[in-house]
Structure 1
């Protein structure tokens, strides 16, 4: 073997070894891919996904799918070839690992946070749906911020009957009545704690970052004889199923099948007053819905631009910003009359 041949062979061997080492080492990314869908109007392990007691319910028809994203698990790391395959697949995406799994959080802490967000989204969905269905309830204190005006004076579970003598029956009323005051003024709550009623006076403080906006440091939920239980039967976390939950609850609480037999999917966070918020992984969720046969997809307004880049042509992208807007759009689709807001370029 000549020196030139030996050098060439050695170079090839080094190159092969180097390539092998490079492809074996993990890269700091995680993949997003279409995850499973779940029909919120169906049953899971013999139980309805949405169970309602304490109020009359009505038949539904069609499918109303919540959509998910499959994310690389915390204990798994992508190699360079795996990352490249995900990058080349139009239904997949890559994100820096530190954004999805912050280095200062353990895998258990991330899972606990996702579970808490899912529970919170269900509570907000119930509140929003009851209001949309015009089911009476009382606002209730859900949380009390530490070192806030309400700390030590109000407790989670306190039912708010009135603010400054004005009876309240909807969640937004509490904040609206508090904001009629200036920072530093007194506001009077009439509450029911257990079986007794009592008056609590609070002095408003400035909202952090908004010095002219008064607050007392509470969040509001609902106190109602209507009980809603969500039985998913599978491991789904995060807040993005809130809108689907709210629509399913509303559909069951109101006469007439909202979907009229159609297959609808969607996503979006929701707050207690029915505002729909943006989510991540919209393109993967649309792809998952398309694969499952949905013909309509509900898109949070801020996600419309990304949704239009999903490449899906055979699914109607409906733009929603509130629960009431979503309800109106679905009624228009079912009846064939009325305007349907859509994502447009």
Structure 2
């Protein structure tokens, strides 16, 4: 039967084709970015020798404790990421593979992405300032806030900037600190009305927070599922939806009362 004698050859040819395809897939670049825990910054402190938060037109108080904004670091938008990189990230606890469009939603060149990230950061800082001054019942025509932070883009620092401004100006309203002397980290966008929004990358940001000494992490309630999935030991989650809720939760934390959890 001649067809039977050809079967091994056909199978061998198919196997060879599959092997070639697998090899191509292993080395072909993928539309993916690898992200890792990034640096954190205490917004109550300094960055590159200058205060992160400067306020003029209102008294500024000396604070204790820390309010650390957290970041993730990602491969450059034009970097080649392969199947082997994704496989490594899959099994690692300190890495994640994310769609490149999710990490760099603006697309474009590196320069264009940098410009978009910088604009998002500027818009976030303006919204944070407005939310803080609204909460403090201060007029932006009399009080000026300047926020300085190098090498960080995007909108996810909004909540921490707002809390930092409030702590610098008014603290807890009774002569104490919002932090109660703790190292508190967190993430979340904010608008001028004080609404807190989701950001992404929370599990890796939690790792960065715990690495740098935080014991409390403020997280947008919409991201509680991700926040609980790989929560580092020793890090307490507080779920927030808006600025008033965040301030109330910090007040409860200082008083030893229960706080909103995920």
TM-score by structure 2 length? 0.86
Distance 1:42 1:276, change over 3 A: same
- Contact 1:295–1:316 (Cα < 8 Å) also in 2: yes
Q: Aligned residues, how many?
A: 245
1:328 and 2:248 are equivalent in the alignment: yes
1:309 is displaced (CA, Å) by 0.5
Distance 1:71 1:263, change over 3 A: same
- Contact 1:58–1:256 (Cα < 8 Å) also in 2: no
Deviations 1:119-160 (A, max 9, x none): 01101111111121222x2xxxxxxxxxxxxxxxxxxxxxxx
- Contact 2:217–2:235 (Cα < 8 Å) also in 1: yes
Residue 125 of structure 2: SS of its match in structure 1? helix
1:316 is displaced (CA, Å) by 0.4
Unpaired segments of 5 or more residues in structure 1?
1-12, 138-222
- Contact 1:41–1:60 (Cα < 8 Å) also in 2: yes
Residue 27 of structure 1: SS of its match in structure 2? coil
Identify the residue that residue 250 of structure 1 maps to in structure 2: 166
Identify the residue that residue 187 of structure 2 maps to in structure 1: 267
1:341 and 2:252 are equivalent in the alignment: no
Identify the residue that residue 130 of structure 1 maps to in structure 2: 133
Identify the residue that residue 224 of structure 1 maps to in structure 2: 141
Q: What does 1:156-235 correspond to in 2, within 5 Å?
A: 223-232=140-149, 234-235=150-151
Residue 307 of structure 1: SS of its match in structure 2? helix
Residue 200 of structure 2: SS of its match in structure 1? coil
- Max radius of gyration: which structure? 1
Q: Which has the higher helix share?
A: 2
1:283 and 2:203 are equivalent in the alignment: yes
1:28 is displaced (CA, Å) by 2.2
Identify the residue that residue 36 of structure 1 maps to in structure 2: 39
Q: What does 1:67-146 correspond to in 2, within 5 Å?
A: 67-101=70-104, 105-135=108-138, 137=139
1:22 is displaced (CA, Å) by 4.6
1:14 is displaced (CA, Å) by 10
Question: Equivalents in 1 of 2:93, 2:115: separation in Å?
Answer: 31
Question: Equivalents in 2 of 1:31, 1:333: separation in Å?
Answer: 35
Question: Equivalents in 1 of 2:57, 2:101: separation in Å?
Answer: 45
1:40 is displaced (CA, Å) by 0.5
Provide the alpha-carbon RMSD of the alignment. 2.3
1:256 is displaced (CA, Å) by 2.1
Q: Which has the higher strand share?
A: 1
- Contact 1:59–1:257 (Cα < 8 Å) also in 2: no
Question: Equivalents in 1 of 2:87, 2:176: separation in Å?
Answer: 48
Question: Equivalents in 1 of 2:106, 2:80: separation in Å?
Answer: 14
Q: What does 1:42-53 correspond to in 2, within 5 Å?
A: 42-53=45-56
- Contact 1:262–1:334 (Cα < 8 Å) also in 2: no
1:239 and 2:158 are equivalent in the alignment: no
Deviation larger for 98-107 or 239-248: 98-107
Residue 26 of structure 1: SS of its match in structure 2? coil
Residue 224 of structure 1: SS of its match in structure 2? coil
1:39 is displaced (CA, Å) by 0.6
Question: Equivalents in 2 of 1:325, 1:103: separation in Å?
Answer: 31
- Contact 2:101–2:107 (Cα < 8 Å) also in 1: no
